[in-house]
Amino acid sequence: MSLKIVQNITALTISNSGISTSGVINLQSGYLRMTSSGGNAHVHVIEGSVTGIANTESSFLIPQNTSEILKFRVARQQIAGITTGTSTTITFAENAGVPFIVGDRISILSAQPSGLNTSFVTVSSTNPGANSMIINANTSSVVGVITVTNATASRCVKVEAYAETNNTHLHIAEVQIASQA
């Protein structure tokens, strides 16, 4: 199998004394390739509100010096409008649809003013009939003319990991499967 790297994510240095968490990963292909080096890693990908289970039996084990590819649902949509407030309403173009579901974590990218750009906020409700959704982001303090010409909403995740031994590293890359050999 041939892989093309879509984006590299900063490697996690993990230990057996706590859980390490990656930064926000705005999904593009949805295929996350994870490689554990230095020891076995227990991995959990945070898609919604459940966190802190990397060190439980609910986690995914990646043995030392092996790689695994996990697939996640990708959702990305051009934004047509943003209404600020204690919760924020995102509107998409007519007939564009709402590709997100309640509980998804999303990032808002390339909106102006920059205070509208958020990461890892939760979708609290969707209204497919109105091509809109509400996210748990307080944007009431944002002032200025809202520009969404290049703004997008992107589904995102974080990876958390726990190691069986110290000095373990979890290398993460989002990849695209280029061919099956």
Name which of 76, 71, 10 is nearest 45 in CA terms: 71
pLDDT, tens digit, for every residue of 115-172?
A: 999 999 999 999 999 999 999 999 999 988 999 999 999 999 999 999 988 989 999 9
How far apart, in whole angstroms, are the C-alpha atoms of residue 13 and residue 11? Answer: 7
CATH of 76-156 among 2.60.40.1290, 2.60.40.1080, 2.40.30.180, 3.30.590.20 = 2.40.30.180
CATH of 2-73+158-179, one of 1.25.40, 2.60.120, 1.10.15, 1.20.5: 2.60.120
- Cis peptide preceding 113, ω within 30 of 0: yes
- Sequence spans of domains, the chain: 2-73+158-179, 76-156
* Whether the model pTM is above 0.85: yes
How many residues are listed for the chain in this entry?
181
Model confidence pLDDT, tens digit, residues 51-65: 666 666 678 999 999
Q: What is the pLDDT of residue 51?
A: 67
Write the pLDDT tens digit of every residue in 78-105: 999 999 999 999 999 988 899 999 999 9
Identify the CA nearest to 123 among candidates 21, 48, 27. 48
If we measure between CA atoms, which residue out of 1, 53, 7 comes closest to residue 26? Answer: 7
CA dihedral in degrees (139, 140, 141, 147; nearest 10)? 60
Contact between 111 and 147 under an 8 Å Cβ cutoff? The reply is: yes
